[in-house]
Amino acid sequence: MSELFLVPSPIGNLKEVSPRVIEVLNSVDYVACEDTRNTSKLLNLLGLNKRCVSCHEHNENMESDKIISSLLEGKNVAYLSDAGYPCISDPGSILVKKAIENNIKVTPLSGPNAFLNALVGSGIDSSHFLFYGFLDSKESKRESELEKLKYLPYTLIFYEAPHRINDTLKSMEKILGNRKITVARELTKLHEEFIRSDLASLNRGNSTFIGELVIIVDKYNEVEKNDFDDYLPKLELLLKAGYKLKDATSIISLLFNVNKNKLYKRVIKKD
């Protein structure tokens, strides 16, 4: 039975290539990859001489059909993106979907990934998290994406480019409010660094961020949030529509994960 191997590649440190990765790369009939120059370099460093074909964001639909045909003919293929896991903010998902549709065995190997390193080293709660990947580069779209994430009770994880991070941090503070944040840069490389701070301090600090970056933002935490004023206009609308104060506060509490009693007390100005 032929097999499609999903092979994670180093995110910086070449020593993170596992013996199993080398064994699989050595055994497959050929390698498909996001960028043949990058992957050929890696294969050369590992002393492997394999044919590489390109399958990237812009040709994945067409190229994956060719790869599927060769898998159906009995070939074994490894797929690699430029760094980390294929399919994680990288191409590969179309190929995997087609392989599954064609009953081809899909075997992912374990290995490097930028957001997991960032999360576990961040010091921010890792029990429940949401990996978002890249936010939109346009301010208005980025901020509406953040609006959708604002009330989630999960640690939020983003990839970002160094030339955009200052704008992104400003949008985050504006929409999410001040929260704990860790910027993890150059993971597994010589200049690896974890900047553990909060959004307001980073935005006032004129920091410059160089290299590859992951942003970890603490979850929405209504217990720490003292400011219920955001909800007053919504509450007023419900009161105008005829709801009793108790029912209106219950609705807001359910919709936005806000403490009902604190909101109630805020409205009747007991707090």
In the list 186, 193, 198, 222, the residue contacting ligand SAM (rule: CB under 6 A) is 186
We find the least distance from the C-beta atom of residue 38 to ligand SAM, in angstroms, to be: 12
H or E, element range at 79: strand 77-80
Question: Is position 84 an interface residue for ligand SAM (rule: CB under 6 A)?
Answer: yes
Nearer to ligand SAM, 193 or 222 (CB): 193
Q: How far apart are CA 89 and CA 133, in angstroms?
A: 6
Nearer to ligand SAM, 190 or 268 (CB): 190
Nearer to ligand SAM, 191 or 246 (CB): 191
Q: How far apart are CA 114 and CA 79, in angstroms?
A: 18
Nearer to ligand SAM, 185 or 266 (CB): 185
Helix 245-256 crosses helix 232-240 at what angle (to 10 degrees)? 130
Judged by CB under 6 A, which stretch of 47-55, 83-91, 197-205, 235-243 contacts ligand SAM?
83-91
In the list 68, 187, 202, 258, the residue contacting ligand SAM (rule: CB under 6 A) is 187
We find the least distance from the C-beta atom of residue 45 to ligand SAM, in angstroms, to be: 17
User: 121: Cβ–Cβ under 8 A, 6 or more apart, which residues?
Assistant: 182, 184, 194
Largest pairwise CA distance in the chain: 74
Tokens matching residue 65: 């059909």
- Residue 53's Cα: distance from chain center in Å? 27
Q: How many residues does the chain have?
A: 271
Question: Is position 188 an interface residue for ligand SAM (rule: CB under 6 A)?
Answer: yes
Judged by CB under 6 A, which stretch of 181-189, 199-207, 221-229, 255-263 contacts ligand SAM?
181-189
Question: Is position 12 an interface residue for ligand SAM (rule: CB under 6 A)?
Answer: yes
H or E, element range at 236: helix 232-240
Binding to ligand SAM by CB under 6 A, coded x per residue (else -) over 92-131, reads ---------------------xxx----------------
Question: Is position 183 an interface residue for ligand SAM (rule: CB under 6 A)?
Answer: no
Binding to ligand SAM by CB under 6 A, coded x per residue (else -) over 206-225, reads ------xxx-----------
Question: Is position 249 an interface residue for ligand SAM (rule: CB under 6 A)?
Answer: no
One-letter amino acid at 264 equals Y
The residue ranges of DSSP E strands in 83-173, in sequence order, are 105-108, 129-134, 155-160
Nearer to ligand SAM, 14 or 100 (CB): 14
Give the three-class secondary structure for 54: strand
Distances (CA, A) of 18 to 14, 77, 78, 150, 157: 10, 18, 15, 38, 26
Applying CB under 6 A, the residues found at the interface with ligand SAM are 11-12, 81, 83-85, 88-90, 113-115, 159-161, 184-189, 212-214
